[in-house]
Amino acid sequence: MKFILQPGGALHGAFRVPGDKSISHRSIMLGSLAKGITDVEGFLEGEDALATLQAFRDMGVEIEGPEQGKVRIHGVGLHGLKKPQHPLDLGNSGTSMRLLSGLLAGQDFDTVMVGDESLSKRPMERVAKPLRMMGAVIETTGEKGTPPITVRGGKPLHGIHYDMPVASAQVKSGILLAGLYADGETSVTEPAPTRDHTERMLNGFGYAISSQGSTVCLHGGGDLLATRIDVPADISSAAFFMVGASIAQGSDITIQHVGINPTRTGVIDILKLMGANIQLLNCREVGGEPVADIRVCSAQLHGIDIPEALVPLAIDEFPVLFIAASCASGKTVLRGAEELRVKESDRIQVMADGLQILGIKAEPTPDGIIIEAGQLGSGTVVSHGDHRIAMAFAMASLRSSGAITVEDCANVATSFPGFVELSNKVGLNIRAVN
Ligand code: S3P
């Protein structure tokens, strides 16, 4: 599928974007492992979260829905999963595979996990290695520590302390999920703050988990008790419209019920440093997660040196932040973001290639990019099957001098079903063509 975008426009209206992807994955995982029935609202009906949902159905969990964001999970308890009949197919979803690696290490059956072309290239040793230290037997059977992954069951796990070399919420969460099945204490120290949805949700399921500074710690052998989960709208999906409204003159939007967990709000901080006009309205807490309505009006942005401390807090938003940088005045420099090279695509190279096609000076560096603002032109860019690259270039059309075609956009459905319809409703001009 490709997107064909006509240039110009402004964004208007009050609207909601789909549910948070990270929280949706975790709601299925913890709901399945809990005792009792967990009701979820606002669940993301995107392919990634649905891959997690299917994996748990394949392991014998009865799950009703999703229907209009509602899911009912009949939890089987920590020891109630059944051996799946086939390898678990996790599609494009790194979160599913890395979190499940930890969870499956605690089962008494063997499992194989596979993924699509992009997931099959992503590094899995980062989670397999600490899990082996806990006693797990895990093989990354791809060429370079990549999927498929085989997890052997029936191996007793013991708690460890792990100092994570990379700031990764997926690795942290994979270890904590294995820790539920381990003897004694499991603790993880992160080199920089990463999203803490697993910790918050474990707490919501009544599981004792403590954190001190950058270390989080739990003891194995407890129980999860079913609960209700209200999934807020995904700030990573809201980010496209936050940038769109900032760069398109005359825009004024309000994105409703967005999760503003402080481990996710780097995009707001970075845009504000660039001069964006963003207000958080009606701040409240919903089911242990902070939520707000986000109002964004257009503003003249200026280039900045992005503070490295904000990188993990905005890690999924850089593709669209690079579009903001292209429309700002002056130069924007990103450093300390080598992780972007191992996301659904090499987001540094793929964005630099696309920006250059559109006439922007974008120089990739090993751990970031240097972008000189300029006039976005027109042309055909390739998303390499990366949902966030496709949506970022869609926003570029708001300021381009001519039409933009974005190729390979089908994976937008992994995180943002209905993106084209919503975008057209609020002021973009996109046609999706097969
Ligand atoms: C996620 C963590 C991040 C993020 C991904 C979702 C999660 O990955 O990029 O989209 O839900 O834990 P890393 O842990 O690799 O940084």
Residues 15-39 have pLDDT tens digits of 999 999 999 999 999 999 999 999 9
- The confidence score (pLDDT) of residue 8 equals 98
Nearest atom in ligand 1 to 26's CA: 11
Going by CA atoms, what residue is nearest to atom 16 of ligand 1?
Answer: 168
Nearest atom in ligand 1 to 21's CA: 11
Residue with tokens 């954190």: 211
Residue from 95, 97, 175, 267 to probe ligand 1 pocket by mutation (most atoms less than 8 Å from CB): 95
State the pLDDT confidence band at 91, using cuts at 50, 70 and 90: very high
Kindly report the number of other CB atoms within 10 A of residue 219's CB atom: 18
Token duo for residue 258: 């967005």
Residue 31 CA to residue 229 CA, distance in Å, equals 9
Mean pLDDT of the chain: 98
pLDDT in tens, 173-219: 999 999 999 999 999 999 999 999 999 999 999 999 999 999 999 99
Ligand 1 neighbours by CB, cut-off 6 Å: 22, 95, 168-170, 173, 195, 315-316, 339
Distance 125 CA to ligand 1 centre (A): 15
Residue 106 CA to residue 135 CA, distance in Å, equals 10
Whether residue 65 has pLDDT greater than 90: yes
pLDDT in tens, 302-355: 999 999 999 999 999 999 999 999 999 999 999 999 999 999 999 999 999 999
Count of CA atoms in the C-beta half-sphere (13 A) of 432: 17
pLDDT in tens, 96-110: 999 999 999 999 999
Distance 169 CA to ligand 1 centre (A): 5
State the pLDDT confidence band at 143, using cuts at 50, 70 and 90: confident
* Sheet bearing 149-152, strands edge to edge: 88-89, 111-114, 149-152, 137-140
Angle at the Cα of 422 from the Cα atoms of 284 and 65, rounded to 5 degrees: 70
Distance 297 CA to ligand 1 centre (A): 29
How buried is 231 (Cβ within 10 angstroms: 0-12 exposed, 13-18 middle, 19+ buried)?
Answer: buried
Residue 168 CA to residue 109 CA, distance in Å, equals 27
Of 430, 418, 196, 423, whose CA–CA distance to 290 is shortest? Answer: 196
Residue 368 CA to residue 348 CA, distance in Å, equals 7
- The confidence score (pLDDT) of residue 129 equals 98
- The confidence score (pLDDT) of residue 39 equals 98
Q: Name the DSSP letter for residue 60.
A: T
Residue 304 CA to residue 334 CA, distance in Å, equals 9
Nearest atom in ligand 1 to 236's CA: 10
Q: Which helix (H) or strand (E) holds 370?
A: strand 368-372
Return the bridge partners of 211, or none. Answer: 216
Amino acid of residue 177: L
Alpha helices in 163-314 (DSSP H): 169-179, 197-204, 235-247, 266-273
- The confidence score (pLDDT) of residue 379 equals 98
Which of 48, 316, 386, 408 is an active site residue? 316
Of 305, 246, 245, 248, whose CA–CA distance to 273 is shortest? Answer: 305
Q: Name the DSSP letter for residue 341.
A: G
Is 316 considered catalytic here? yes
pLDDT in tens, 394-424: 999 999 999 999 999 999 999 999 999 999 9
- The confidence score (pLDDT) of residue 341 equals 98
Mean pLDDT computed over 229-235: 98
Residue 181 CA to residue 159 CA, distance in Å, equals 9
- The confidence score (pLDDT) of residue 102 equals 98
